[in-house]
Structure 1
Amino acid sequence: MGYYDCLMAPNHINVGRRDLLKVGGAAGLTALAGCSSFGGGGGSDTYTIGMVDSQTGSLSEFGTRNERGRELALADVNDVGVNGGELAISVGDSQSTNQAGVSAAQKLVNQEGVPFLIGAVGSGVSIAIYESVINGTDVVQLSQNSTGPKLTEYPDLLRMSPTGKTQSKAISDIVSEDGHDSVALTYINNEYGSGIADAFRDAYPGDIAYDAAHDQGQASYSSIVTAMNESGASAWVFITYQPEFSTMAQDAYDQGYGEGVTYYGADSVKGTNVIENTPEGSIDGMKIVAPSAAVDQENYKNFASTFEDEYGSAPTAWSAYTYDCVITAALSVQAADEFTGSALGDVVRDVTRPSGEKVQTYKAAHDILADGGSASDVDYQGVSGPIDLDQNGDPAAYLQVFEVQDHAYVSTGFIST
């Protein structure tokens, strides 16, 4: 992968932080895609990477969170600069489906020639992109939100959010601690759902009285919740997405189910859409285990404060993961010998590992690298927590437990692994 052709002039665009945030929300920052070239030298270059996100479809709420994390990270990077230039991100929409995700990735990698791709949200989408587009190339892929356990089987498919196996073990422990010796389990019929369900089965010591997959996007799941009710299990475990769970909860409420039953769920059943689309009080007592940012760290507190100032709401862990994907990509550009997938792949893990100096901001890490330090001299501690990408491409896990109380999510504790 040699020098990129200059796509538009001027080569270097000077914009303020707030201007950059405005540009970041528009069509993947194509307005900033100037000249991309090898790293390692001076000059005023724009280094363009790619991102596949769920801008539409069933996972679009994640896409909104990711867009905001991406904008804040891009602003922080370009306030400092990267390898004498600027970072730009070209974004494609996966539409929350494998086919559209692959098409978006093909455009970014094969037509635009990005050497580093952030993506995707759904685990099945990330794997499909890797198998159809990334495998056999030098392009670095770093998923922002995929938690499916199967990603661990693809060491070159990196991710920022922890494997769902950690969630499965935590859910199993909580169900057991709550005194349930049998559960009814339903999971969405894709890589994400089946992977986390498999891990839950391995971890749970009790009886699984009902165990069945369900398809995405159905108008009703009445037959599923009826079977869960008839199983007699006192704990119902949902491994699915927000729209599907909302429909199931509504179906159960309409049919008068739920007396003496406690709901449990993995990360993707939690969100404002669920609260808005279920009857008040209908899911009270539900417990959810979700990946969490390291909310006690100073860099996360600063990130959250900036996020709230810009968007009027608190960030989620998903916004933090996307922020850290962008920062990790920028540090890789700064540390690499050249702006190629091969060179970026050589350093992307090292800038997050504990052998280097622990730093909590892009600027601190950038300054070490700009002063002659190597990738192994930096241990970037993300706003989402320590990253420490391992040989399988998985990060360290930091989880948060929520309970629905008075039809709102309340944090009840943290789990680290």
Structure 2
Amino acid sequence: MKSKFFALALAGGLLAATALAGAPAHADVKIGLLGGVSGPIAAMAPAMIDAAQLAFQQVNEQGGVLDGQKIVGAVGDSACSPQGGTDAATKAVNIEGVTAIVGPHCSGAVLAAAGSVTIPAGVTVVTPSGTSPEITGLADNDTVFRTVPSDDFQGRALARTLKAEGYSKVAVAYINNDYGTGLANAFKSEFEAQGGEIAGFAAHEDGKASYRSNLADLASGGADTLVIFDYGDGTGLTLLRQALENGFFEKFIGGDGMKSDAPIKELGAENLTTFYASSPVGEKSDALNVFNEAFKAAGGDPDAIFVTTSYDAAFLLALAVEKAGGDKAGIPAALRAVSSGEGEAILPGEWKKAKELIAAGKAIDYKGAAGDLNFDQAGDVPGAYSLFKVGANGFEVVSEMK
């Protein structure tokens, strides 16, 4: 989706900088939007950034934060890599002077950026799509949060779902990074605990021209189903293409990184009738309906992956900035306070109501588009996943994952 928010975010950086040059430093509150603009999830990132920008637009249209200041989304490219995440976070913190960060989008970028930049600087990050279980264990001084469940949850839920659907023997190919490793290990542990057989289990490196030998080794175990934990815009697409071309497997299952339009566009829906992918989904609620209508009206696709979690991360940070009075050090505690399960319910877009309640010293509880976001001690949240298939109009829900 090439929508106006993303284009404006990228094109407007110099204009924003020019405006800031002649204004007091407190004129705007900057929040970093560090996304995988380039790299293996480049096709997913624009919609995610657009969703976050929608939250900021709603805040600004309803009076802004604090004493009328505007929120400015400072877009950076974390490139879905550790180095890219570190570089983007360094710029956001040291040059842009951000108050907090939405992102980075990918687990490796989150871990690297947090460890080397944001934790030492005391800057809070909320990733909408960094799902590695390793994020849970960060010694982060309570500054790293996420609005998407850990892959430990996704991997185990996918394993249980496949076993219940009659899959008893599978092979697993996973990209050798924090995302792929965490998801694959969680899946393997649960699938075997459920009585399933892992007939092949192997990591692969990113960016190779051919994975035919990897696929042949995985197929030698006799499984007719390949589970791919990779990115549908990158190596995962190559694996899927070469597996289909060479007839190594009959059925294919992807994690959330594979739920991309790229395989459908490149390989054709008619060739993906046995391809399924898991993905986080917003729990059915009034909050989700409100977000869907607003995002659709802004030109977005509410069914795009991670748009609900991206919106929630941005709106939550705006609420936390308001609650903390703009104090960076107070944002973590404020995040928990505005989404604790107690207080007046706040739906997506209800900024004016939330601001008035905060000013009156009353408790609020943000009801997210992705579901209730009550952070645990590690900054993690519960969530919901579904299994999708490729249909005539893109991905369609097959079943809920539990």
- TM-score using structure 2 length: 0.89
Match of 1:300 in 2: 288
- The answer for unaligned runs of 5 or more in structure 2 is none
Match of 2:172 in 1: 185
Query: Matches of 1:222 and 1:240 in 2, distance apart?
Result: 16
Matches within 5 A, 1:153-302: 153-154=137-138, 156-205=143-192, 206-242=196-232, 243-258=234-249, 261-294=250-283, 296-302=284-290
Structure 2 CA distance for partners of 1:244 and 1:122, relative to 1, 3 Å: same
Match of 2:368 in 1: 382
RMSD of aligned Cα (Å): 2.3
CA contact (8 A) 1:148 1:192 kept: yes
Structure 2 CA distance for partners of 1:28 and 1:208, relative to 1, 3 Å: farther
The match for 2:124 among 128, 140, 155 is: 140
Instruction: Report the Cα offset of residue 220 of structure 1.
Output: 2.0
Instruction: Report the Cα offset of residue 322 of structure 1.
Output: 1.3
Instruction: Report the Cα offset of residue 56 of structure 1.
Output: 1.3
Query: Matches of 2:191 and 2:51 in 1, distance apart?
Result: 35
Instruction: Report the Cα offset of residue 35 of structure 1.
Output: 3.9
Instruction: Report the Cα offset of residue 313 of structure 1.
Output: 3.7
Structure 2 CA distance for partners of 1:90 and 1:280, relative to 1, 3 Å: closer
Instruction: Report the Cα offset of residue 21 of structure 1.
Output: 8.2
Structure 2 CA distance for partners of 1:215 and 1:27, relative to 1, 3 Å: farther
Query: Matches of 1:197 and 1:47 in 2, distance apart?
Result: 39
Amino-acid identity (%): 27
* Counterpart residue identity of residue 384, structure 2: Y
Instruction: Report the Cα offset of residue 195 of structure 1.
Output: 0.6
Query: Matches of 2:107 and 2:290 in 1, distance apart?
Result: 30
Query: Matches of 1:336 and 1:30 in 2, distance apart?
Result: 28
Query: Matches of 2:175 and 2:65 in 1, distance apart?
Result: 41
Instruction: Report the Cα offset of residue 150 of structure 1.
Output: 1.1
Query: Matches of 2:187 and 2:297 in 1, distance apart?
Result: 39
Q: Which moved more, 1:170-179 or 1:298-307?
A: 298-307
Q: How many residues align?
A: 385
* Counterpart residue identity of residue 102, structure 2: I
Query: Matches of 1:398 and 1:169 in 2, distance apart?
Result: 12
Instruction: Report the Cα offset of residue 129 of structure 1.
Output: 0.3
Structure 2 CA distance for partners of 1:396 and 1:35, relative to 1, 3 Å: farther
Instruction: Report the Cα offset of residue 330 of structure 1.
Output: 0.7
CA contact (8 A) 2:175 2:204 kept: yes
Match of 2:386 in 1: 400
* Counterpart residue identity of residue 248, structure 1: L
CA contact (8 A) 2:55 2:315 kept: yes
CA contact (8 A) 1:138 1:342 kept: yes
Structure 2 CA distance for partners of 1:351 and 1:35, relative to 1, 3 Å: farther
Structure 2 CA distance for partners of 1:305 and 1:319, relative to 1, 3 Å: same
Query: Matches of 2:37 and 2:176 in 1, distance apart?
Result: 22
Tell me, what secondary structure is at the counterpart of 1:388? coil
The match for 1:75 among 41, 48, 57 is: 57
CA contact (8 A) 1:156 1:392 kept: no
Query: Matches of 2:76 and 2:12 in 1, distance apart?
Result: 8
Structure 2 CA distance for partners of 1:22 and 1:269, relative to 1, 3 Å: closer
CA contact (8 A) 1:123 1:146 kept: yes
Query: Matches of 1:289 and 1:402 in 2, distance apart?
Result: 6
Structure 2 CA distance for partners of 1:380 and 1:248, relative to 1, 3 Å: same
